[in-house]
Amino acid sequence: MKRRQFLTSTSAAIMTAGVVSPMFGQRAFAQGQPALMRLAMPPLLDTRPTGRLSLTATSGSSSFSGGPATPTAGFNQGYLGPTIIMQNGDLAAEVQNNLDEPISAHWHGLLVPGEHDGSPHLAIAPGATWQPEMIIAQDPATVWYHSHIHERTAEQVYFGLAGVIHVTDGQDDARGLPSAYGIDDLTLVVQDRRFDAAGRMVYDPSRMDIMHGFAGNRMLVNGQAGATAVVPEGFARLRLLNGSNARNYALFFDDTRPMHLVATDGGFLPAPVALDVLRLAPGERAEVLVDFSDGGTPVLMSDPDQAYGVMQFATDNALPARITRLPEQLDGAPEDLTGAKVATRQVSLDMGMGGMMMGGGGFAINGRPYDMGRIDFEVSLGSVERWQIRSTMVAHPFHIHGVRFRVVTENGGPPRPENTGWKDTVLVTGEAEILARFDQPASRDTPFMFHCHILEHEDAGMMGQFTVT
């Protein structure tokens, strides 16, 4: 695997990759303990007043948990990017690349044509600027953006080229939803990262790391380790993005308080759904409401079998508790596509033992590794299609560009609660059946991608592309 020029690699000893150290506990708030480190939100970039968006990919240097500085990258800052607020209508975007290798800006979850999608075909050369004139026309949702260069996506996202987007219609107060950014409406980018014994963040995947996806040994939320989110004594809205390269999360609170799911990848549900555990695969987003009115200090955990801490919450009664009651209904009403006349496609996410398959690459879709010059599917504009997706060997998060879809079945049964709304990414643990309508055009020059969102698998060939005409 090629190394990125603007980052340095290290050969220092790596701690065990599969173990994420627990970093939180109730005793963190005991008398005499040091003051908590408050979680910071990504800076806000509101495009609504101007209809313009300006991002610059830049190199940085970041220290995590007091360790040595690590070369990183980000948009408009040294690591990760701002939270972008946008609304329906015209949006003039500008993405400048100040790095010394090509990047792109894929709008993961935005329903825009292929020429604006930010796929590998829309690489931005070093020193160049990309200026798509986009029309945003979709339901409110939490989506995100990240670089998407073939064979470079995993490393570029790992070192910081990613951020969150809020598509809003300004009606959240009327819905009874928390909407004060950073106070009761929190953007939480959850990532695991690997650190060496000296505390440097490293990315040097072995063959096994590529096979299983690169896993870390420390949790970061918004690029911070060990920070505590401070919320009012009322309901808070958590906009969760799994921005990890490969790790799946099964999120729950250590004191068993429920999470009320209000939105999935593509928008709101018809009503809140109470969950004890929220499963989130790489690329997926979920919005949940959590009641903190008891003033406790709960810890958000992951993986009930070998639980580890993700982050801790604390309440501050000086913050206004704007929302004290769970809304009974929301205005999300996913369209029923089951009665539409559909074409059916089979999609097999393939990988071989030890990478010894398909010429040694080991990763493919329908037996063929990704080829930028090959169109795998030709889809009719405005059509509805049923995709039957099969995952081999391991669970794969499956993402389609340019559409949102409904999950019809998982392994022959009904979808999990997290998959009942609009989706653009779904974790396939065996077989999943989805229905999608293709309303955005994509040409042979700028096709849409479909791929595994374990980023090492995507880079290694588990990706295809399609036109919509």
pLDDT in tens, 396-450: 999 999 999 999 999 999 999 999 999 999 999 999 999 999 999 999 999 999 9
Rounded to the nearest 5 degrees, what angle is found at the Cα of 302, between the Cα atoms of 186 and 282?
70
What is the reported pLDDT for 414?
96
CB–CB of 453/109 below 8 Å? no
- The mean-pLDDT minimum among 33-37, 134-138, 226-230, 325-329 falls in 33-37
Q: Measured between alpha carbons, how far is 361 from 352 in angstroms, rounded to an integer? A: 9
383 pLDDT higher than 50 = yes
- Strand segments, DSSP code E, in 141-203 are 141-146, 162-167, 185-193
How many C-beta atoms lie closer than 10 Å to residue 327's C-beta? 15
Question: Residue 28 — pLDDT band, cuts 50, 70, 90?
Answer: very low
What is the reported pLDDT for 353?
57
Q: Measured between alpha carbons, how far is 279 from 249 in angstroms, rounded to an integer? A: 6
Cross-strand partners of 410? 413, 432
4 pLDDT higher than 60 = no
Eight-state DSSP code of residue 413: B
17 pLDDT higher than 60 = no
H/E element, 460: helix 455-460
pLDDT in tens, 337-369: 877 778 999 999 999 754 444 444 589 999 999
Average pLDDT over residues 366-383: 96
State the chain's mean pLDDT as an integer: 91
32 pLDDT higher than 80 = no
pLDDT in tens, 194-253: 999 999 999 999 999 999 999 999 999 999 999 999 999 999 999 999 999 999 999 999
pTM: 0.93
DSSP 3-state assignment of 396? strand
